[in-house]
Amino acid sequence: MFNVLHIMKKEIISGFRNKRTMIFMLAFPLVLILVLGSALSNAFKTTVSVSDIHVLYENNLNENAKPYFNEFRKYTEKSGIYFEKAGKNTDGMKEVKLGNADGYAVLDDKGVRLYTNGRNSIEGSILEGLFAAFADRYNLTAEIMKTAPDKVGIAFEKPKDDYIRTESLLPKKQPGAMDYYATVITTMICLYASLGASTLIQGERARKTIDRLIAAPVRKSDILIGKLFASLIVNTLCIALVILVSKMVYKANWGEHLWLICLLILTEILLSVNIGIGISMLSKSTAAARSLLILIIQLAAFFGGSYFKIENPGKWLQAIMDLSPLTWINQAITKIIYNNNLSIAVPVAAANIGAALLILLVSITALQKREGL
């Protein structure tokens, strides 16, 4: 145990003295979160603003119905929908095609004919719903006229606002750009911990200090475990600082269960460190291990949504995305933050820990059978 702690202390000090590693694990993710979160903020907007809507109309209704349309028109203008009576020489449909009006409505005793510009789908949908409501009222008025003409005004009375009250039990919450990239960049940087871990053994070989370790009265497993836990501590502290800065400075939303998210991220770091050690044990050189790890990380990041959000993937793309560990953990963190689904952390954490222990067992077994380190 003493040997493990001694090796841990030495590796932790070396880790924090490595300026290149500190810059990459701290400055790189924070700059990337800021750049992507700011540049792609419009891609994450869930609301659409609509300016004033301009409608041309011809009112050919009978004298009894005209006043009701006028009242209807005045009421809708309070919501930013403005009506203009088409002149005798005005071609309403042409004006709509040219974009000079959002809609052209012709009202007569047969009903309402509405013409909209297909390019302005939002404004057109608003007008369709608006005139559909008026047509329903008009049809109701026609039926009342047949039986009780003196009560026809009831059909066009302003409805009470509290007839129906709706409340969403599960409000649809979605991350903004800064929230999204704070999560996915943080989990992606956790995978980069494997690069540092891959040099724990290979670095000793490169520095020609491997023979001194072998000659020392220390078991190989103690060396491996000491280096592993040191790398885990250094990377955990770096990731904790990234989370803290993104939350306090960038105002990223990490939800109300940050402790659970941190535990989940800790299991990912554990998996990442073990992957780095395992691949370095199987590789003949540091360059080969590094190249393979970079390829794995980039593929996992691409299909895990680290660079851009992948929406509505097909069957085959979804199957490939599910192979990325970043897909599992990013989805779990999102559900914890926005759905308060705490149980999702258990299977993801169990998968990370199980895979890490399996890789560690294979690494220790391979190390014991090898001559030297």
**Which pLDDT tens digit goes with each residue over 74-112?**
777 777 788 888 877 778 888 888 878 888 888 777 777
162 within some domain: no
201 and 95 in a common domain: no
Q: Give the domain CATH number at 131.
A: 3.40.190
23 within some domain: yes
Band of residue 146 on the pLDDT scale cut at 50, 70, 90 = low
341 within some domain: yes
168 within some domain: no
Q: What average pLDDT does the chain have?
A: 79
Query: Which range is least confidently modeled, 99-108, 210-219, 351-360?
Result: 210-219
- Cα 18 to Cα 13, 186, 225, 287: the distances in Å are 9, 20, 21, 19
Residue (of 298, 318, 316) closest to 307 by Cα position: 298
> What pLDDT is attached to residue 203?
61
279 and 190 in a common domain: yes
> What pLDDT is attached to residue 162?
44
Residue (of 197, 217, 195, 221) closest to 373 by Cα position: 221
- For residue range 162-203, list pLDDT tens digits in order: 434 545 544 556 788 899 999 999 999 999 988 888 877 666
What is the rounded CA–CA span in Å between residue 242 and residue 228? Answer: 21
90, 123, 156 — which closes off a domain?
Answer: 156
196 and 236 in a common domain: yes
**What's the mean pLDDT in 218-224?**
70
pLDDT at 245 over 90: yes
CB 261 within 8 A of CB 349: no
Band of residue 349 on the pLDDT scale cut at 50, 70, 90 = very high
164 within some domain: no
**What's the mean pLDDT in 338-347?**
90
pLDDT at 145 over 70: no
38 and 99 in a common domain: no
pLDDT at 155 over 90: no
CB 299 within 8 A of CB 253: no
DSSP string, 127-142: HHHHHHHHHHHHHHHH
26 and 67 in a common domain: no
Domain that holds residue 135: 53-156
Q: Take residue 339 and report the two structure tokens written for it.
A: 């759905």
37 and 107 in a common domain: no
What is the number of structural domains in the chain? Answer: 2
pTM value is: 0.66
